[in-house]
Chain A
Amino acid sequence: MKFDLSEDQALLQSSTRDFLGSELPLEKTRNVMEHQPDGYEAAQWRSLADMGYIGLTLPATAGGQGLGTIELAIVLEEMGRVCAPGPFLDVVLAASLLAASGKEAGLLADVVQGKSLVTIARQDSPFNGNHVQPARFENGRVRGTKYFVPFAARTDALLVTTPQGIVLVRAPYDLVPLETIDLGQRFAEVKLDNQGTLIGGPELLEKIDLLAAVGASAMMLGLMSRSLEITLGYVQTRQAFKRPIGAFQALQHRMADMLLKTESTRSAVYRAAWCLDTGDEDGALACATAKAYAGDASRYVCGEAIQMHGGIGFTWELDLHFYFKRAKTLEQFYGSTEAQLEKALAAAGY
């Protein structure tokens, strides 16, 4: 038994940190968020693909590296630490879904190499409505509207979920950009009346949903741990009443809670990843736990980081709001907290 990363895993962590430190420093990210309507730079995407990150967990036959969920979590945690903009998690999930379907090998190879962009069109309403007509697949055509489709404007194809199964739809499609608070995660509403190819039944999504939950939680873990580090640095230097504000117990105890929530998220995320990699029977409960807990914890930690910075924390100029906003996005997508709570109840048989 061992909780620490293996030598190879630690190497992946440090090389990813170095790579992201040079490819995606916060100055570049800020520039993307403020000036790049796509929400990422094509050059950065190519270098991610060249480094093999997109195919990290895919089998070698699909051009991937055949690594596990723990390795994916390590990379996503690092991406969270730099609040990386772009569709990395969305594309990894779409690629995993394509790989699971066993169809469209050519497209999958292009996705892994960074030549094509595919994401999953999942949401059937802008809100979590229970009485929404989902998009339908009939006679070879998909009809209906999908909301919050990740990076739809730059995709070459979408994997559209319908009650009939998962349907591959190639661009072009009608879309309306949706602007949210997170400028590093771009979405669109996609109005579909397009030809499509059924690539598999809805059951294919079960494993993808577990991966999505762990992946998003790992990214939230990175957001939290970096927000806490930034805050710890600030409270040691910022002076008030002739002492660093970090000397005040009112802040110390809340920072202790920030650490508690961050480290508890770490336990939950890596346990869930380990469960998926080993086929442990607690996998479904562990994944729902990680996502539901990380959602609350990351909002708390990233929010407290803003509070402890005072007025400067509320400015656009400081980077903390990017972390706070990403935490909210990740909490609401990849299986919302509400959905994860339902899954947890079902997994426990309550």
Chain B
Amino acid sequence: MDLQLSDKHVKFRDELRAWLKANMGRPWREELRDPKATEDSLMELRRGWQRKLYEGGYLGMDWPAEWGGRGATEVEKSIFEAEMSKADAPPILNSLGIGLLGPALIHHGSEAQRRRFIPPMLSGDEIWCQGFSEPGAGSDLASLRTSAALDGDHFVLNGQKIWTTFGPWADWIFVLARTDSKDRYGGISFILCKLDTPGITVRRLRQITGESEFGEVFFEDARVPRENLVGQIGEGWRIAMTVLAFERGAMGLAAAERYGRDLGLLARTCKELGREGGAVREKLARLLVENEVLRANGLRMLANLADGKVPGPESSIEKIFWSEFDKRFRETALDILGPGGQLVRTSAEARPDVDWSREFLWSRAGTIYSGSSEVQRNIISKRVLNLPQEGR
């Protein structure tokens, strides 16, 4: 057992820290609470930041060298995420493109597709959204019904995608569509669609925060060139599952950095406000302890990655832990802060350090997206505990 970063990884981390110091502007929380900030201006800021990261060699680090790769592993990627969290760097704009589609194209795409799509994905000139969920297919994704019928050298798409993160801003969408209605898994294909294609409509959905980060996408006889198929017809499910595996990594570590920073600010606020009674102190302490357990889980995941282990179902444990803790943390923060914690960032008297009300609302999303807590518990029951699956 050894939880010390290797010299190579310490060097990587220190170089990244120095790079962040020289290249990062204001912390993201300050950008967010700038009264002049709009959804569009923040998006442009994120696009610019992404370009800087790309030029600095920090995007696609584990991809082949011709796409900007530098032979990085999951360990460097996890350290990168943790350091970005620690520095409170703006989130990458094209995270779904770089996180999911990039690996899909590298592993399953054609050479022509890689040349066409990867450079603008990395530079932020083309933003991607993910068309997986449908109104009738969420946790049970394989029951999706959006159809893609081959007509000459085009697919004709019909159907609807929903909860499409970045849908309202994106230029392109990667879609799982049904090419065979009889084959549940083998009848799904992976298709790339430009969102300004005739027959495709994007509608914003307003989220509980008031923002519209996600939307819905309608397909009505939308004709998409056949060359936009990734892999073969019927390979979509397999591609999607391998791609989703790239969402893993030591997420817990990055989460613990972020929560730890906010928790420190909450503790400072409590001191300022004279909120130092036993009840408040116990709440703070319990949050601190849980966050340190999250950090320990993250370190364990990182050490396993460094040891050459591929994360399996234990990433479900990490996902449940951070997302459920996020809810408890934000709820407790509002308990402690009182009604002042509910103030929206643009309001008079809102705390300048953390946008507590937004975090409180956002924490409700983490236990739903990327496999809800219930789906994660099913995964643990089946793949780790080997419990019988009948009898739902």
> How many Cβ-Cβ contacts under 8 Å join chain A to chain B?
148
The reply on B21 being an interface residue by CB < 8 A is no
Q: How far is the CA of A123 from the CA of B49 in the complex (A)?
A: 57
With a cutoff of 8 Å between Cβ atoms, the chain A residues found around residue B281 in the complex are: 341-342, 345
The reply on B346 being an interface residue by CB < 8 A is no
The 8 Å CB contact of B378, one of A252, A268, A286, is A252
User: Of residues 284 to 305 in B, which have CB atoms within 8 Å of A's CB atoms?
Assistant: 284-286, 288-290, 292-293, 296-297, 299-300, 302-304
A78-118 interface mask toward B, CB cutoff 8 Å, 1 = contact, 0 = none? Answer: 00000000000000000000000000000000000000000
Does A285 contact B321, Cβ atoms closer than 8 Å? no
A153 to chain B, nearest CB (A): 35
With a cutoff of 8 Å between Cβ atoms, the chain B residues found around residue A5 in the complex are: 1
The reply on B66 being an interface residue by CB < 8 A is no
Q: How far is the CA of A243 from the CA of B388 in the complex (A)?
A: 9
The reply on A307 being an interface residue by CB < 8 A is no
Q: Which residue of A lies closest to B387 (CB)?
A: A246
Q: How far is the CA of A264 from the CA of B304 in the complex (A)?
A: 15
With a cutoff of 8 Å between Cβ atoms, the chain B residues found around residue A236 in the complex are: 387-388
Does A255 contact B385, Cβ atoms closer than 8 Å? yes
A247-276 interface mask toward B, CB cutoff 8 Å, 1 = contact, 0 = none? Answer: 111001101110110011111101100100
A312 to chain B, nearest CB (A): 20
Q: Which residue of B lies closest to A286 (CB)?
A: B292
B286 to chain A, nearest CB (A): 7
Using known A-B contacts A1-B4, A2-B1, A4-B1, determine if residue A344 contacts B289 with beta carbons closer than 8 Å.
yes
With a cutoff of 8 Å between Cβ atoms, the chain A residues found around residue B339 in the complex are: none
Counting chain B CB atoms within 10 Å of each CB, which of A2, A4, A288 scores highest? A2
* SS of A interface (majority): helix
Does B293 contact A3, Cβ atoms closer than 8 Å? no
With a cutoff of 8 Å between Cβ atoms, the chain B residues found around residue A340 in the complex are: 289
Q: How far is the CA of A1 from the CA of B75 in the complex (A)?
A: 10
Q: Which residue of A lies closest to B294 (CB)?
A: A264
A175 to chain B, nearest CB (A): 34
With a cutoff of 8 Å between Cβ atoms, the chain A residues found around residue B392 in the complex are: 249
Q: How far is the CA of A265 from the CA of B385 in the complex (A)?
A: 17
With a cutoff of 8 Å between Cβ atoms, the chain A residues found around residue B320 in the complex are: 256, 260
A253 to chain B, nearest CB (A): 4
Using known A-B contacts A2-B303, A252-B378, A268-B292, determine if residue A235 contacts B1 with beta carbons closer than 8 Å.
no
Q: How far is the CA of A316 from the CA of B209 in the complex (A)?
A: 53
Q: How far is the CA of A4 from the CA of B380 in the complex (A)?
A: 20
The 8 Å CB contact of B307, one of A2, A243, A249, A263, is A2
The reply on A161 being an interface residue by CB < 8 A is no
B329 to chain A, nearest CB (A): 14
Does A4 contact B307, Cβ atoms closer than 8 Å? yes
A152 to chain B, nearest CB (A): 32
Q: How far is the CA of A263 from the CA of B380 in the complex (A)?
A: 12
Does A255 contact B317, Cβ atoms closer than 8 Å? no
Does A350 contact B288, Cβ atoms closer than 8 Å? yes
Does B299 contact A256, Cβ atoms closer than 8 Å? no
Does B299 contact A271, Cβ atoms closer than 8 Å? yes
Does B292 contact A2, Cβ atoms closer than 8 Å? no
User: Of residues 1 to 32 in A, which have CB atoms within 8 Å of B's CB atoms?
Assistant: 1-6, 9
Q: Which residue of A lies closest to B268 (CB)?
A: A350
Does A259 contact B387, Cβ atoms closer than 8 Å? no
B1-37 interface mask toward A, CB cutoff 8 Å, 1 = contact, 0 = none? Answer: 1111110010000000000000000000000000000
A78 to chain B, nearest CB (A): 16
With a cutoff of 8 Å between Cβ atoms, the chain B residues found around residue A264 in the complex are: 293, 296-297, 317, 321
Does A278 contact B381, Cβ atoms closer than 8 Å? no
Does A259 contact B388, Cβ atoms closer than 8 Å? no
Does B377 contact A271, Cβ atoms closer than 8 Å? no
Does B292 contact A246, Cβ atoms closer than 8 Å? no
B349-392 interface mask toward A, CB cutoff 8 Å, 1 = contact, 0 = none? Answer: 00000000000000000000000001011101100110111111
Does A6 contact B1, Cβ atoms closer than 8 Å? yes
The 8 Å CB contact of A3, one of B285, B304, B388, is B304
Does A278 contact B385, Cβ atoms closer than 8 Å? no
With a cutoff of 8 Å between Cβ atoms, the chain A residues found around residue B389 in the complex are: 247
With a cutoff of 8 Å between Cβ atoms, the chain A residues found around residue B285 in the complex are: 292, 341-342, 344-345, 350
Does A3 contact B1, Cβ atoms closer than 8 Å? yes
Does A3 contact B307, Cβ atoms closer than 8 Å? yes
Counting chain A CB atoms within 10 Å of each CB, which of B5, B286, B302, B387 scores highest? B387
Does B289 contact A256, Cβ atoms closer than 8 Å? no
Does A289 contact B289, Cβ atoms closer than 8 Å? yes
The reply on B55 being an interface residue by CB < 8 A is no
Q: How far is the CA of A247 from the CA of B386 in the complex (A)?
A: 10
The reply on A348 being an interface residue by CB < 8 A is yes
Q: Which residue of B lies closest to A348 (CB)?
A: B288
Does B300 contact A260, Cβ atoms closer than 8 Å? no
Q: How far is the CA of A247 from the CA of B377 in the complex (A)?
A: 13
Q: How far is the CA of A266 from the CA of B377 in the complex (A)?
A: 19
Counting chain B CB atoms within 10 Å of each CB, which of A9, A253, A288 scores highest? A253
Does B289 contact A293, Cβ atoms closer than 8 Å? yes
Does A268 contact B3, Cβ atoms closer than 8 Å? no
The 8 Å CB contact of B385, one of A9, A259, A293, A344, is A259
Q: What are 12 A-B contacts with C-beta separation under 8 Å?
A: A1-B2, A6-B1, A241-B391, A247-B391, A249-B392, A259-B317, A259-B380, A264-B297, A267-B297, A289-B293, A345-B285, A348-B267
A sample of 4 more A-B contacts (CB under 8 A), given A1-B303, A268-B293, A293-B289, is A256-B320, A274-B3, A289-B292, A348-B288
